[in-house]
């Protein structure tokens, strides 16, 4: 007997999945997140599953965890008091940024506030040249003095960012050793370990963000590992990274900035894995939980990857309005619209929904935990989409009178009927998500109508019908156990380590042998980290990339490079040139004539997938999950509101656990399971595919 455990902590719910490898079944539980101590909800949920199904803790061989805790700490400014030690003359880098306004004509523009205030940004004498040579030696005594100044000011985490440290980390490493020797209780982060690449502002911003959340990450991850061990589970804790890969606790504690998008990444991986058979690999992965909704593009079965993103944006869709973070991440767009998003009237009397959320405590009014403001979940209950007696598998006792009261107060303010205001909330949220999706897809040169929408999360299947209609899509895919799909996706995620280095190599002048040597160093470093995850390195694959540009251009394009090794011959140079020019033409249609190509940074992504046996087991488990229980699939009917009909209509309610491959469902219908509810409108239909997915066809 062996089991795998997936844990996904969101802003409202914590999702827990146990996969039983011997029987090919999954066991799920959804519990309210405990914001004061997230590990407490995990321990209670896992312990409940072990007790309910009599699972021996000693037989767990894999534990994987994703969380939004660190990105929430950045957004809400709940990190450590952080100081910065930098090269003389560069203390204002975080404030100056790129000297660019994200809204050119806004006289009252609010730039993102630096994570380190000016009085905690101190300078020391040292200077490296761009090639890594020493211009001015590091003043060790001054480093010690500056560190003491910061600690006296209450700092508990220090970021060290020296000029050109990407080319030579010697000064940063010496400063870190000096501080750690004297102040062991202080967390220290160096830029050459977190973001060893050019562009001072982005490197400083990423390093400071890592330092800001490092003490929190250390406490939290240590506590989580202890909680798992206290349950008697011997398997080591693995963490989901923003890139969609896994790493071990020590690496995550060293660079927790890599986990900023770990929760959304798990959802995108789950969508790619579970939707590939029914969509030809082209998906809009739509994950809507209690606090936020996320959308990512999956092309050819793989989520798109980005190598930079912005955290804590002042304006959600405005590039340049957030803190730049240079890490590998699954490319996605996040919208402040979840089941707990609060509906309100703005200053000109319009109905707005989100981004404020009721969270898990006090939660929506319908949770009966003291929440009084109307939310999306309250509206969905009133519209008949959700079952008060079976919400979150019965984990939450629903207070319908409280939901009615909250919506009635809002209805009076906007002078609408109770039904109209509930539908308005539901429709506004759908439009928010559809608008964001249109922008995200169009910016990547895609047409949304070429994709199927795969919905996950507790609220995703409820809203997928409305979002798909607004986008003009013909197909929605809903996997089994959609409410906990992100947690299940953790169990099929590969181990992955990304590394980057600045090289500054010109293809017309420099030998490709130098490029090969640089790649080998990165690959060896990545494999050394991966060895600690416990997966076999023999199965690892290596992807080589470069940030390239034509000489004289100010910014670069990340492109895939051919496999090595590269030698001094013209064949290697020609292959590298062709790879860059092909990618450049795909993006910009034309290449400039007779301009040398320059590779600024190189990147490697080393991946070791879970075994093919485990992947096959997961797929088989989905089908078995869909085969479900015996008995009639129809649970009964209830009245639900559909705008197409203009009123409440009698709607058939199905039990997802009793639907088997080949079964068909005609709309209007509601398909319920433990962690989510799928809504199918009038004129729509669905069939249970061989994969176990419910494939919905829109009229």
Tell the residue number behind the tokens 């992504």, with chain if given. Answer: 605
pLDDT bracket for residue 629 (50, 70, 90): low
What is the per-residue pLDDT across 582-623, written as a single tens digit (0 to 9) for each?
Answer: 999 998 989 999 999 999 999 999 988 765 445 455 555 544
3 state SS of 476: strand
Lowest mean pLDDT of 110-119, 497-506, 514-523, 525-534, name the range: 525-534
Cβ proximity of 577 and 595 under 8 Å: no
255 or 535: which leads in pLDDT: 255
Tokens of residue 484, six digits? 């906990």
Closest to 305 (Cα-Cα) out of 248, 243, 364: 243
DSSP state of 445: T
What strands, in cross-sheet order, belong to the sheet with 60-67? Answer: 25-32, 13-20, 3-9, 60-67, 237-240, 246-248, 495-506, 597-608, 541-550, 557-560
CA 68 to chain centre: 8
User: CA-CA distance, 634 to 636, in Å (whole number)?
Assistant: 6
Question: What is the percentage of the chain residues whose pLDDT exceeds 70?
Answer: 96
Expressed in angstroms, the distance from the first to the final Cα of the chain is 46
Q: Half-sphere exposure of 235 toward its Cβ, with a 13 Å CA cutoff?
A: 21
Confidence at residue 611, expressed as pLDDT on a 0 to 100 scale: 55
Cβ proximity of 128 and 164 under 8 Å: yes
CA 624 to chain centre: 29
Averaged confidence pLDDT in the chain: 89
- The topology under which CATH files domain 3-74+219-259 is Nucleotidyltransferase; domain 5 (3.30.420)
Classify residue 552 as left (phi > 0), alpha (psi -120 to 50) or beta: left
Confidence at residue 171, expressed as pLDDT on a 0 to 100 scale: 97
User: CA-CA distance, 305 to 545, in Å (whole number)?
Assistant: 12
pLDDT bracket for residue 34 (50, 70, 90): confident
Cis peptide before 362 (omega within 30 of 0): yes
Residue 513 CB-density burial (10 A; 0-12 exposed, 13-18 middle, 19+ buried) = middle
Confidence at residue 618, expressed as pLDDT on a 0 to 100 scale: 52
Find all residues with CB under 8 Å of 270, minimum gap 6, and list them: 285, 456, 479, 485, 486, 488, 489, 492
User: CA-CA distance, 187 to 180, in Å (whole number)?
Assistant: 8
Arithmetic mean of pLDDT, 294-306: 88
User: CA-CA distance, 70 to 269, in Å (whole number)?
Assistant: 20
3 state SS of 176: helix
Tokens of residue 11, six digits? 């802003």
Closest to 245 (Cα-Cα) out of 335, 334, 327, 333: 327
3-state secondary structure 13-73: EEEEEEEECCCCEEEEEEEECCCCCHHHHHHHHHHHHHHHHCCCHHHEEEEEEEECHHHHH
pLDDT bracket for residue 578 (50, 70, 90): very high
pTM value surpassing 0.75: yes
Strand partners of residue 290: none
pLDDT at 628 over 60: no
Closest to 333 (Cα-Cα) out of 209, 434, 213: 434
pLDDT bracket for residue 627 (50, 70, 90): very low
Cis peptide before 565 (omega within 30 of 0): yes
Arithmetic mean of pLDDT, 236-245: 90
DSSP state of 641: E
Tell the residue number behind the tokens 């060290």, with chain if given. Answer: 160
Q: What angle do CA 233, 239, 240 make, to 5 degrees?
A: 135
User: CA-CA distance, 667 to 465, in Å (whole number)?
Assistant: 11
pLDDT at 436 over 90: no
* Range list of β-strands (E), 331-474: 332-335, 341-345, 351-357, 452-456
Tokens of residue 65, six digits? 């965890």
Tokens of residue 239, six digits? 């963490």
Cβ proximity of 423 and 431 under 8 Å: no
What is the per-residue pLDDT across 138-186, written as a single tens digit (0 to 9) for each?
Answer: 999 999 999 999 999 999 999 999 999 999 999 999 999 999 999 999 9
Question: How many other CB atoms are there within 10 angstroms of residue 402's CB atom?
Answer: 19
Q: Which long-range contacts (CB under 8 A, 24 or more apart) does 25-29 make?
A: 25/621, 25/624, 25/625, 26/481, 26/488, 26/621, 26/625, 27/53, 27/55, 28/393, 28/481, 28/483, 28/484, 28/487, 28/674, 28/675, 29/393, 29/395, 29/484
pLDDT bracket for residue 197 (50, 70, 90): very high
Domain ranges of the chain: 3-74+219-259, 77-212, 341-426, 495-609
Tokens of residue 102, six digits? 């994200």
Cβ proximity of 57 and 233 under 8 Å: yes
What is the per-residue pLDDT across 450-470, written as a single tens digit (0 to 9) for each?
Answer: 899 999 988 999 999 999 999
| Helices 512-530, 570-588: crossing angle, 10 deg rounding | 80
Looking at the domain covering 495-609, what would its CATH class be?
alpha beta
Arithmetic mean of pLDDT, 49-59: 92
Classify residue 154 as left (phi > 0), alpha (psi -120 to 50) or beta: left
Confidence at residue 535, expressed as pLDDT on a 0 to 100 scale: 65
């Amino acid at each position: 007997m062996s089991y795998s455990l997936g844990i996904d902590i969101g802003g409202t719910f914590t999702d827990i999945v146990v996969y039983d490898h011997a029987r090919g079944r999954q066991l799920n539980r959804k519990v309210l997140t405990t914001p004061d101590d997230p590990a407490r909800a995990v321990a209670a949920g896992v312990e409940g599953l072990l007790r309910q199904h009599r699972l021996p803790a000693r037989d767990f061989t894999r534990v994987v965890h994703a969380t939004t805790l660190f990105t929430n700490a950045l957004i809400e400014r709940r990190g450590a008091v952080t100081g910065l030690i930098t090269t003389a003359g560069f203390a204002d880098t975080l404030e100056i940024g790129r000297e660019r306004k994200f809204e050119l004509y806004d006289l009252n523009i609010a730039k993102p506030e630096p994570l380190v205030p000016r009085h905690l940004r101190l300078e020391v004498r040292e200077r490296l040249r761009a090639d890594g040579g020493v211009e001015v030696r590091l003043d060790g005594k001054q480093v010690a003095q500056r560190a003491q100044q910061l600690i006296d000011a209450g700092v508990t985490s220090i970021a060290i960012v020296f000029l050109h440290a990407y080319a030579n980390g010697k000064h940063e490493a010496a400063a870190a050793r000096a501080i750690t020797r004297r102040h062991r209780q202080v967390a220290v982060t160096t830029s050459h370990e977190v973001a060893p690449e050019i562009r001072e502002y982005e490197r400083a911003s990423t390093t400071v963000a890592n330092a800001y959340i490092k003490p929190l990450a250390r406490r939290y991850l240590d506590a989580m590992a202890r909680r798992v061990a206290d349950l008697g589970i011997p398997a080591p804790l693995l963490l989901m990274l923003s890139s969609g890969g896994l790493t071990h606790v020590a690496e995550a504690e060293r660079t927790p900035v890599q986990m900023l998008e770990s929760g959304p990444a798990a959802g995108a991986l789950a969508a790619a894995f579970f939707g590939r058979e029914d969509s030809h690999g082209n998906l809009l992965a739509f994950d809507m939980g209690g606090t936020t909704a996320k959308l990512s593009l999956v092309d050819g079965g793989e989520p798109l990857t980005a190598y930079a993103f912005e955290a804590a944006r002042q304006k959600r869709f405005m590039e340049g309005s957030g803190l730049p973070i240079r890490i590998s991440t699954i490319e996605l767009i996040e919208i402040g619209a979840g089941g707990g998003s609060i509906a309100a009237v703005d200053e000109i009397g319009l109905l707005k929904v989100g981004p404020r959320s009721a969270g898990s405590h006090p939660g929506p009014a319908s949770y009966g935990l003291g929440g009084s403001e109307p939310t999306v979940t309250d509206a969905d209950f009133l519209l008949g989409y959700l079952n008060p007696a079976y919400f979150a598998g019965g984990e939450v006792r629903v207070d319908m009178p409280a939901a009615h009261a909250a919506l009635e107060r809002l209805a009076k303010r906007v002078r609408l009927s109770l039904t109209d205001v509930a539908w308005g909330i539901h429709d506004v949220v759908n439009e928010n998500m559809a608008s964001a999706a249109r922008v995200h897809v169009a910016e990547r040169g895609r047409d949304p109508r070429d994709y199927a929408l795969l919905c996950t999360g507790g609220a995703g299947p409820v809203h997928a019908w409305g979002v798909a209609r607004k986008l003009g899509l013909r197909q929605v895919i809903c996997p089994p156990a959609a409410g906990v799909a992100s947690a299940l996706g953790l169990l099929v995620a590969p181990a992955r380590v990304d590394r980057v280095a600045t090289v500054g190599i010109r293809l017309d002048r420099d030998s490709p042998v130098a490029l090969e040597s640089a790649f080998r160093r990165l690959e060896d470093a990545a494999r050394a980290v991966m060895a600690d995850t416990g997966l076999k390195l023999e199965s690892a694959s290596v992807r080589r990339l470069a940030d390239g540009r034509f000489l004289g251009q100010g910014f670069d394009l990340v492109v895939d490079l051919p496999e090595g090794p590269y030698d001094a011959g013209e064949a290697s140079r020609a292959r590298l040139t062709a790879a860059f020019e092909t990618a450049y033409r795909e993006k910009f249609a034309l290449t400039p004539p007779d301009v040398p190509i320059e590779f600024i940074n190189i990147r490697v992504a080393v991946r070791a997938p879970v075994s093919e046996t485990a992947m096959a087991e997961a797929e088989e488990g989905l089908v078995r999950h869909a085969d479900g229980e015996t008995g009639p699939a129809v649970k009964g009917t209830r009245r639900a509101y559909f705008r197409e009909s203009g009123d409440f209509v009698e709607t058939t309610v199905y039990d997802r656990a009793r639907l088997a491959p080949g079964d068909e469902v005609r709309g209007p219908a509601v398909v319920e399971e433990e962690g989510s509810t799928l809504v199918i409108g009038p004129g729509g239909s669905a069939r249970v595919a061989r994969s176990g997915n419910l494939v919905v066809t829109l009229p």
